[in-house]
Protein backbone atom coordinates (compact mmCIF):
# COMPACT_ATOMS: atom_id res chain seq x y z
CA UNK A 1 0.00 0.00 0.00
CA UNK A 2 1.35 3.40 -0.96
CA UNK A 3 1.61 6.39 1.33
CA UNK A 4 -1.11 8.75 0.19
CA UNK A 5 -1.97 12.23 1.38
CA UNK A 6 -5.50 13.62 1.08
CA UNK A 7 -6.85 17.09 1.79
CA UNK A 8 -9.05 17.04 4.87
CA UNK A 9 -11.67 19.80 4.90
CA UNK A 10 -11.76 19.51 8.69
CA UNK A 11 -8.11 20.52 9.15
CA UNK A 12 -7.81 22.53 5.90
CA UNK A 13 -4.61 20.71 5.03
CA UNK A 14 -3.25 17.53 3.50
CA UNK A 15 -2.90 14.57 5.83
CA UNK A 16 -1.51 11.08 5.42
CA UNK A 17 -4.34 8.61 4.88
CA UNK A 18 -4.32 6.24 7.84
CA UNK A 19 -7.43 4.11 8.17
CA UNK A 20 -8.94 2.78 11.38
CA UNK A 21 -8.57 -0.86 10.33
CA UNK A 22 -5.44 -1.81 8.43
CA UNK A 23 -6.14 -2.35 4.76
CA UNK A 24 -9.80 -1.29 4.95
CA UNK A 25 -11.38 2.03 3.96
CA UNK A 26 -14.91 2.78 5.15
CA UNK A 27 -16.30 5.44 2.82
CA UNK A 28 -19.65 7.17 2.49
CA UNK A 29 -20.65 9.42 -0.39
CA UNK A 30 -23.78 11.55 -0.55
CA UNK A 31 -26.03 10.47 -3.40
CA UNK A 32 -28.49 12.52 -5.43
CA UNK A 33 -32.04 13.57 -4.67
CA UNK A 34 -33.79 11.52 -7.32
CA UNK A 35 -36.35 13.67 -9.09
CA UNK A 36 -34.53 14.27 -12.39
CA UNK A 37 -31.69 13.06 -14.60
CA UNK A 38 -28.05 13.41 -13.53
CA UNK A 39 -26.17 16.48 -14.73
CA UNK A 40 -22.41 16.73 -15.18
CA UNK A 41 -22.02 18.40 -11.79
CA UNK A 42 -23.27 15.14 -10.28
CA UNK A 43 -20.99 13.22 -12.64
CA UNK A 44 -17.97 15.07 -11.32
CA UNK A 45 -18.64 14.01 -7.73
CA UNK A 46 -18.98 10.33 -8.58
CA UNK A 47 -16.12 10.25 -11.11
CA UNK A 48 -13.70 11.93 -8.69
CA UNK A 49 -14.62 9.55 -5.88
CA UNK A 50 -14.49 6.62 -8.29
CA UNK A 51 -10.84 7.38 -9.06
CA UNK A 52 -10.01 7.52 -5.35
CA UNK A 53 -11.75 4.18 -4.83
CA UNK A 54 -10.01 2.59 -7.83
CA UNK A 55 -6.61 3.85 -6.67
CA UNK A 56 -7.08 2.62 -3.12
CA UNK A 57 -8.15 -0.80 -4.40
CA UNK A 58 -5.22 -0.91 -6.82
CA UNK A 59 -2.82 -0.29 -3.94
CA UNK A 60 -4.27 -3.10 -1.83
CA UNK A 61 -7.13 -1.61 0.19
CA UNK A 62 -10.58 -3.07 0.56
CA UNK A 63 -13.00 -0.18 0.08
CA UNK A 64 -16.40 -0.53 1.73
CA UNK A 65 -18.35 2.11 -0.13
CA UNK A 66 -21.87 3.17 0.81
CA UNK A 67 -23.91 5.64 -1.25
CA UNK A 68 -27.40 6.82 -0.48
CA UNK A 69 -30.30 8.02 -2.58
CA UNK A 70 -32.46 10.76 -1.09
CA UNK A 71 -35.93 9.54 -2.00
CA UNK A 72 -37.84 11.68 0.54
CA UNK A 73 -37.96 15.32 -0.52
CA UNK A 74 -40.38 18.08 -1.47
CA UNK A 75 -39.03 18.24 -5.02
CA UNK A 76 -39.81 14.55 -5.49
CA UNK A 77 -43.35 15.07 -4.22
CA UNK A 78 -43.88 18.08 -6.50
CA UNK A 79 -42.51 16.33 -9.58
CA UNK A 80 -44.52 13.18 -8.87
CA UNK A 81 -47.69 15.22 -8.49
CA UNK A 82 -47.00 17.02 -11.78
CA UNK A 83 -46.44 13.69 -13.57
CA UNK A 84 -49.37 11.97 -11.86
CA UNK A 85 -47.31 9.14 -10.38
CA UNK A 86 -46.55 8.03 -6.79
CA UNK A 87 -43.38 9.60 -5.31
CA UNK A 88 -41.77 6.16 -4.82
CA UNK A 89 -42.30 5.31 -8.50
CA UNK A 90 -40.76 8.60 -9.60
CA UNK A 91 -37.75 8.04 -7.33
CA UNK A 92 -37.22 4.51 -8.63
CA UNK A 93 -37.38 5.75 -12.20
CA UNK A 94 -34.59 8.28 -11.66
CA UNK A 95 -32.50 5.85 -9.63
CA UNK A 96 -32.54 3.55 -12.67
CA UNK A 97 -31.61 6.48 -14.91
CA UNK A 98 -28.76 7.38 -12.54
CA UNK A 99 -27.29 3.91 -12.91
CA UNK A 100 -27.54 4.11 -16.70
CA UNK A 101 -25.57 7.36 -16.73
CA UNK A 102 -22.94 6.24 -14.22
CA UNK A 103 -22.44 2.89 -15.97
CA UNK A 104 -21.86 4.75 -19.23
CA UNK A 105 -19.23 6.87 -17.46
CA UNK A 106 -17.54 3.73 -16.10
CA UNK A 107 -18.25 4.58 -12.46
CA UNK A 108 -17.90 1.45 -10.33
CA UNK A 109 -20.91 0.40 -8.27
CA UNK A 110 -20.92 1.00 -4.52
CA UNK A 111 -20.69 -1.85 -2.05
CA UNK A 112 -24.24 -0.95 -1.10
CA UNK A 113 -26.82 1.66 -2.06
CA UNK A 114 -29.27 2.84 0.58
CA UNK A 115 -32.63 4.58 0.36
CA UNK A 116 -33.75 7.12 2.93
CA UNK A 117 -37.21 5.51 2.97
CA UNK A 118 -35.65 2.26 4.21
CA UNK A 119 -34.20 3.97 7.30
CA UNK A 120 -37.17 5.89 8.70
CA UNK A 121 -37.43 3.66 11.77
CA UNK A 122 -33.73 4.20 12.52
CA UNK A 123 -34.13 7.96 11.99
CA UNK A 124 -36.98 8.01 14.50
CA UNK A 125 -34.75 6.18 17.01
CA UNK A 126 -31.95 8.73 16.50
CA UNK A 127 -34.36 11.63 16.92
CA UNK A 128 -35.78 10.13 20.12
CA UNK A 129 -32.27 9.64 21.48
CA UNK A 130 -31.35 13.27 20.75
CA UNK A 131 -34.44 14.41 22.63
CA UNK A 132 -33.50 12.14 25.52
CA UNK A 133 -29.95 13.55 25.87
CA UNK A 134 -31.08 17.16 25.52
CA UNK A 135 -29.67 17.85 22.07
CA UNK A 136 -33.10 18.28 20.48
CA UNK A 137 -36.45 19.85 21.38
CA UNK A 138 -40.00 19.84 20.13
CA UNK A 139 -41.66 22.99 18.87
CA UNK A 140 -45.19 22.46 17.61
CA UNK A 141 -45.13 19.61 15.11
CA UNK A 142 -41.40 19.85 14.50
CA UNK A 143 -38.34 18.38 16.25
CA UNK A 144 -35.27 20.61 16.02
CA UNK A 145 -31.63 19.93 16.79
CA UNK A 146 -30.31 22.37 19.41
CA UNK A 147 -27.07 23.58 17.82
CA UNK A 148 -25.94 25.74 20.73
CA UNK A 149 -26.34 22.95 23.30
CA UNK A 150 -24.13 20.73 21.14
CA UNK A 151 -21.32 23.29 21.06
CA UNK A 152 -22.14 24.97 17.76
CA UNK A 153 -20.76 24.48 14.28
CA UNK A 154 -17.07 24.34 13.47
CA UNK A 155 -16.33 20.84 12.20
CA UNK A 156 -15.85 22.12 8.65
CA UNK A 157 -16.65 25.85 8.64
CA UNK A 158 -15.14 28.14 11.26
CA UNK A 159 -16.93 31.15 12.81
CA UNK A 160 -20.10 30.40 10.86
CA UNK A 161 -22.42 31.66 13.57
CA UNK A 162 -20.58 34.98 13.87
CA UNK A 163 -20.73 35.63 10.14
CA UNK A 164 -24.36 34.67 9.56
CA UNK A 165 -26.28 35.07 12.81
CA UNK A 166 -27.51 38.56 12.05
CA UNK A 167 -28.99 37.32 8.74
CA UNK A 168 -30.98 34.43 10.20
CA UNK A 169 -34.42 35.08 11.68
CA UNK A 170 -35.61 33.18 14.76
CA UNK A 171 -38.80 35.00 15.72
CA UNK A 172 -41.91 33.19 14.51
CA UNK A 173 -40.05 30.04 13.44
CA UNK A 174 -40.44 28.10 16.68
CA UNK A 175 -36.66 27.66 16.87
CA UNK A 176 -34.55 28.50 19.91
CA UNK A 177 -31.52 29.44 17.86
CA UNK A 178 -30.97 30.71 14.30
CA UNK A 179 -29.04 27.63 13.18
CA UNK A 180 -31.23 24.93 14.71
CA UNK A 181 -32.29 22.49 12.01
CA UNK A 182 -35.12 20.03 11.45
CA UNK A 183 -34.77 16.43 12.58
CA UNK A 184 -38.43 15.51 12.11
CA UNK A 185 -41.52 17.43 11.03
CA UNK A 186 -45.20 16.79 10.41
CA UNK A 187 -46.11 15.81 6.86
CA UNK A 188 -47.93 18.40 4.81
CA UNK A 189 -51.14 17.59 3.00
CA UNK A 190 -50.41 15.29 0.07
CA UNK A 191 -46.94 14.36 1.30
CA UNK A 192 -45.80 10.89 2.23
CA UNK A 193 -45.63 10.37 6.00
CA UNK A 194 -44.63 7.83 8.63
CA UNK A 195 -46.03 7.18 12.08
CA UNK A 196 -43.81 8.38 14.92
CA UNK A 197 -44.10 9.30 18.62
CA UNK A 198 -44.74 12.86 17.39
CA UNK A 199 -47.44 12.02 14.89
CA UNK A 200 -47.45 11.42 11.15
CA UNK A 201 -44.34 13.00 9.72
CA UNK A 202 -41.11 12.76 7.77
CA UNK A 203 -37.40 13.04 8.57
CA UNK A 204 -34.99 15.88 8.00
CA UNK A 205 -32.30 15.50 5.34
CA UNK A 206 -29.31 15.53 7.69
CA UNK A 207 -30.67 12.79 9.96
CA UNK A 208 -31.11 10.48 6.98
CA UNK A 209 -27.42 10.38 6.05
CA UNK A 210 -26.32 9.85 9.65
CA UNK A 211 -28.64 6.86 9.97
CA UNK A 212 -27.55 5.30 6.68
CA UNK A 213 -23.81 5.82 7.13
CA UNK A 214 -23.58 4.71 10.77
CA UNK A 215 -25.79 1.66 10.32
CA UNK A 216 -23.57 0.40 7.49
CA UNK A 217 -20.12 1.64 8.49
CA UNK A 218 -20.20 2.15 12.25
CA UNK A 219 -19.84 5.29 14.39
CA UNK A 220 -16.68 6.59 12.65
CA UNK A 221 -16.07 6.72 8.90
CA UNK A 222 -12.65 6.89 7.27
CA UNK A 223 -13.80 9.06 4.35
CA UNK A 224 -16.93 11.08 3.76
CA UNK A 225 -17.03 12.52 0.23
CA UNK A 226 -19.37 15.03 -1.36
CA UNK A 227 -19.61 18.16 -3.45
CA UNK A 228 -18.34 21.41 -1.95
CA UNK A 229 -21.90 22.73 -1.67
CA UNK A 230 -22.62 20.08 0.99
CA UNK A 231 -20.06 21.37 3.48
CA UNK A 232 -22.70 23.65 5.01
CA UNK A 233 -25.29 22.95 6.11
CA UNK A 234 -25.47 19.24 5.33
CA UNK A 235 -22.12 17.91 6.50
CA UNK A 236 -21.85 20.31 9.42
CA UNK A 237 -25.24 19.10 10.63
CA UNK A 238 -24.38 15.44 10.09
CA UNK A 239 -21.25 15.85 12.22
CA UNK A 240 -23.23 17.43 15.08
CA UNK A 241 -25.92 14.75 15.06
CA UNK A 242 -23.47 11.85 14.96
CA UNK A 243 -21.25 13.15 17.75
CA UNK A 244 -24.27 13.93 19.93
CA UNK A 245 -25.32 10.27 19.67
CA UNK A 246 -21.97 8.48 19.92
CA UNK A 247 -19.66 10.96 21.64
CA UNK A 248 -16.86 10.05 19.21
CA UNK A 249 -15.40 11.54 16.04
CA UNK A 250 -17.75 10.95 13.11
CA UNK A 251 -15.38 11.26 10.13
CA UNK A 252 -11.57 11.09 9.90
CA UNK A 253 -11.24 12.63 6.43
CA UNK A 254 -13.86 14.96 4.98
CA UNK A 255 -13.26 15.30 1.23
CA UNK A 256 -15.10 17.67 -1.11
CA UNK A 257 -14.86 18.28 -4.85
CA UNK A 258 -15.31 21.66 -6.50
CA UNK A 259 -18.11 22.69 -8.87
CA UNK A 260 -18.58 22.33 -12.59
CA UNK A 261 -19.26 25.77 -14.04
CA UNK A 262 -21.58 26.60 -16.91
CA UNK A 263 -20.93 30.10 -18.27
CA UNK A 264 -19.11 30.94 -15.07
CA UNK A 265 -21.91 29.81 -12.73
CA UNK A 266 -22.25 26.64 -10.65
CA UNK A 267 -24.26 23.94 -12.35
CA UNK A 268 -27.49 23.43 -10.42
CA UNK A 269 -30.82 21.72 -11.12
CA UNK A 270 -32.66 23.97 -8.69
CA UNK A 271 -31.33 27.09 -10.45
CA UNK A 272 -32.09 25.76 -13.93
CA UNK A 273 -28.43 25.68 -15.01
CA UNK A 274 -27.84 22.10 -16.09
CA UNK A 275 -26.33 19.96 -18.79
CA UNK A 276 -27.52 16.40 -18.41
CA UNK A 277 -25.00 13.59 -18.78
CA UNK A 278 -27.13 11.82 -21.37
CA UNK A 279 -27.25 14.94 -23.54
CA UNK A 280 -23.45 15.17 -23.59
CA UNK A 281 -23.13 11.49 -24.46
CA UNK A 282 -25.28 11.89 -27.56
CA UNK A 283 -22.39 13.65 -29.29
CA UNK A 284 -19.26 12.67 -27.32
CA UNK A 285 -17.80 9.42 -25.98
CA UNK A 286 -18.22 9.06 -22.22
CA UNK A 287 -14.45 8.78 -21.86
CA UNK A 288 -14.09 12.36 -23.13
CA UNK A 289 -16.35 13.69 -20.38
CA UNK A 290 -14.44 11.65 -17.83
CA UNK A 291 -11.15 13.03 -19.16
CA UNK A 292 -12.45 16.61 -19.05
CA UNK A 293 -13.37 16.21 -15.39
CA UNK A 294 -10.11 14.49 -14.44
CA UNK A 295 -7.99 17.05 -16.27
CA UNK A 296 -8.47 19.30 -13.24
CA UNK A 297 -7.66 18.46 -9.65
CA UNK A 298 -10.85 17.61 -7.78
CA UNK A 299 -10.51 20.77 -5.67
CA UNK A 300 -10.33 22.99 -8.77
CA UNK A 301 -13.34 24.21 -10.72
CA UNK A 302 -14.08 22.79 -14.16
CA UNK A 303 -15.58 25.04 -16.83
CA UNK A 304 -17.90 23.16 -19.17
CA UNK A 305 -18.66 24.21 -22.73
CA UNK A 306 -18.70 22.57 -26.13
CA UNK A 307 -15.18 23.76 -26.92
CA UNK A 308 -13.82 22.14 -23.78
CA UNK A 309 -15.61 18.90 -24.63
CA UNK A 310 -14.25 18.89 -28.18
CA UNK A 311 -10.72 19.43 -26.85
CA UNK A 312 -11.18 16.63 -24.31
CA UNK A 313 -12.36 14.26 -27.03
CA UNK A 314 -9.30 15.10 -29.13
CA UNK A 315 -7.03 14.36 -26.15
CA UNK A 316 -8.85 11.10 -25.55
CA UNK A 317 -8.40 9.98 -29.18
CA UNK A 318 -4.67 10.79 -28.94
CA UNK A 319 -4.33 8.69 -25.79
CA UNK A 320 -6.08 5.80 -27.52
CA UNK A 321 -3.67 5.93 -30.44
CA UNK A 322 -0.64 5.98 -28.17
CA UNK A 323 -2.06 3.15 -26.07
CA UNK A 324 -2.60 1.10 -29.22
CA UNK A 325 0.97 1.68 -30.35
CA UNK A 326 2.36 0.90 -26.89
CA UNK A 327 0.25 -2.27 -26.80
CA UNK A 328 2.12 -3.73 -29.77
CA UNK A 329 4.99 -4.54 -27.39
CA UNK A 330 2.76 -6.14 -24.78
CA UNK A 331 4.50 -9.53 -24.98
CA UNK A 332 7.56 -8.29 -23.11
CA UNK A 333 7.52 -8.25 -19.31
CA UNK A 334 10.33 -5.75 -18.91
CA UNK A 335 9.99 -2.01 -18.38
CA UNK A 336 12.49 0.53 -19.62
CA UNK A 337 14.00 3.06 -17.23
CA UNK A 338 12.21 5.83 -19.08
CA UNK A 339 8.81 4.17 -18.63
CA UNK A 340 9.61 3.49 -14.98
CA UNK A 341 10.23 7.19 -14.49
CA UNK A 342 6.93 8.12 -16.13
CA UNK A 343 5.14 5.47 -14.07
CA UNK A 344 6.64 6.76 -10.83
CA UNK A 345 5.54 10.28 -11.69
CA UNK A 346 2.02 9.04 -12.46
CA UNK A 347 1.63 7.32 -9.09
CA UNK A 348 3.34 10.15 -7.21
CA UNK A 349 0.70 12.52 -8.60
CA UNK A 350 -2.11 10.29 -7.35
CA UNK A 351 -0.44 9.91 -3.95
CA UNK A 352 -0.48 13.71 -3.68
CA UNK A 353 -4.16 14.22 -2.92
CA UNK A 354 -5.32 12.55 -6.14
CA UNK A 355 -3.70 14.97 -8.60
CA UNK A 356 -5.42 13.48 -11.64
CA UNK A 357 -4.57 16.44 -13.86
CA UNK A 358 -0.86 15.92 -13.25
CA UNK A 359 -1.22 12.16 -13.71
CA UNK A 360 -2.86 12.69 -17.11
CA UNK A 361 -0.16 15.18 -18.12
CA UNK A 362 2.49 12.54 -17.38
CA UNK A 363 0.76 10.02 -19.64
CA UNK A 364 0.28 12.61 -22.39
CA UNK A 365 3.99 13.44 -22.35
CA UNK A 366 4.77 9.75 -22.71
CA UNK A 367 2.19 9.49 -25.51
CA UNK A 368 3.81 12.34 -27.43
CA UNK A 369 7.20 10.62 -27.34
CA UNK A 370 5.72 7.29 -28.41
CA UNK A 371 3.86 8.85 -31.33
CA UNK A 372 7.02 10.69 -32.39
CA UNK A 373 8.54 7.26 -32.99
CA UNK A 374 11.14 7.41 -30.26
CA UNK A 375 12.45 4.14 -28.84
CA UNK A 376 13.03 2.85 -25.34
CA UNK A 377 9.43 2.57 -24.13
CA UNK A 378 9.24 -1.13 -23.30
CA UNK A 379 6.44 -1.85 -20.84
CA UNK A 380 4.57 1.38 -21.60
CA UNK A 381 1.36 -0.61 -22.05
CA UNK A 382 1.25 -1.10 -18.29
CA UNK A 383 0.94 2.61 -17.68
CA UNK A 384 -1.94 2.79 -20.15
CA UNK A 385 -3.52 -0.14 -18.33
CA UNK A 386 -3.30 1.99 -15.17
CA UNK A 387 -5.02 4.87 -16.95
CA UNK A 388 -7.88 2.52 -17.74
CA UNK A 389 -7.94 0.69 -14.42
CA UNK A 390 -7.40 3.63 -12.06
CA UNK A 391 -8.49 6.74 -13.93
CA UNK A 392 -11.28 4.69 -15.49
CA UNK A 393 -10.66 6.11 -18.99
CA UNK A 394 -11.25 3.17 -21.31
CA UNK A 395 -8.53 3.03 -23.97
CA UNK A 396 -8.74 -0.50 -25.33
CA UNK A 397 -12.22 -0.61 -26.89
CA UNK A 398 -13.44 -0.15 -30.44
CA UNK A 399 -14.80 3.31 -31.29
CA UNK A 400 -18.33 1.97 -31.60
CA UNK A 401 -18.17 0.46 -28.12
CA UNK A 402 -16.79 3.59 -26.50
CA UNK A 403 -19.60 5.79 -27.75
CA UNK A 404 -22.79 6.14 -25.78
CA UNK A 405 -25.85 4.39 -27.16
CA UNK A 406 -28.28 6.67 -25.33
pLDDT tens-digit map of 224-273: 999 999 999 999 999 999 999 999 999 999 999 999 998 888 877 666 67
Please, what's the b/e burial string for 81-110 (b: 16 or more CB within 10 A of its CB; e: otherwise)? Answer: eeeeeebeebbbebbebbeebbebbbbbeb
Q: How far apart are CA 402 and CA 383, in angstroms?
A: 20
* Residues paired with residue 5 on neighbouring β-strands, in sequence order: 16, 352
Mean pLDDT over all residues of the chain?
A: 92
> What is the set of domains in the chain, with CATH numbers?
18-261 (3.40.50.620), 304-394 (1.20.120)
Per-residue pLDDT, 161 = 60
Q: How far apart are CA 240 and CA 252, in angstroms?
A: 14
Q: How far is CA 165 from CA 168, 230, 241, in A?
A: 5, 19, 20
Q: How far apart are CA 73 and CA 234, in angstroms?
A: 14
Per-residue pLDDT, 157 = 86
Q: Checking phi first, is residue 199 left (phi over 0); if not, alpha (psi -120 to 50) or beta?
A: left
DSSP string, 46-71: HHHHHHHHHHHHHTT-EEEEEEEEB-
Per-residue pLDDT, 374 = 84
User: Going residue by residue through the chain (406 aa), what tens digit of pLDDT does each one get?
Assistant: 678 999 999 999 999 999 999 999 999 999 999 999 999 999 999 999 999 999 999 999 999 999 999 999 999 999 999 999 999 999 999 999 999 999 999 999 999 999 999 999 999 999 999 999 999 999 999 999 999 999 999 899 877 665 555 555 566 678 999 899 999 999 988 788 999 999 999 999 999 999 999 999 999 999 999 999 999 999 999 999 999 999 999 999 999 999 999 888 887 766 667 899 999 999 999 999 999 999 999 999 999 999 999 999 999 999 999 999 988 755 566 889 999 999 999 999 999 999 999 999 999 999 999 998 888 889 999 999 999 999 999 998 655 444 433 3
Residues with Cβ within 8 Å of 276's Cβ and at least 6 positions away in sequence, in order, are 37, 38, 39, 40
Q: Would you call 168 helix, strand, or coil by DSSP?
A: coil
Q: How far apart are CA 254 and CA 236, in angstroms?
A: 11
Strands (E), 30-188: 62-69, 112-115, 136-139, 142-145, 181-186
Per-residue pLDDT, 269 = 67
Q: Would you call 252 helix, strand, or coil by DSSP?
A: strand
Q: How far apart are CA 179 and CA 145, in angstroms?
A: 9
Per-residue pLDDT, 403 = 40
Amino acid sequence: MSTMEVYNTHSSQKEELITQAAGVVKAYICGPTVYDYSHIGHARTYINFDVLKRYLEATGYEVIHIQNFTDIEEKITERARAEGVPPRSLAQKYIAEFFMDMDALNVKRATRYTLATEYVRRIIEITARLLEVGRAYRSGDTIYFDVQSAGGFGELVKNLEDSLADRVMVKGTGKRGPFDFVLWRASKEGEEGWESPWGLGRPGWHTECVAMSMDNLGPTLDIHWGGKDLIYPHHECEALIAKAITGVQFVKYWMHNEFVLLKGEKMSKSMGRTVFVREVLKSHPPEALRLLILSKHYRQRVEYDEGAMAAAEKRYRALREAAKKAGSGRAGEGMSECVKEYTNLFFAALDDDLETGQALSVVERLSYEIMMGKEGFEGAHRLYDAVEGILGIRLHRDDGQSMSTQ
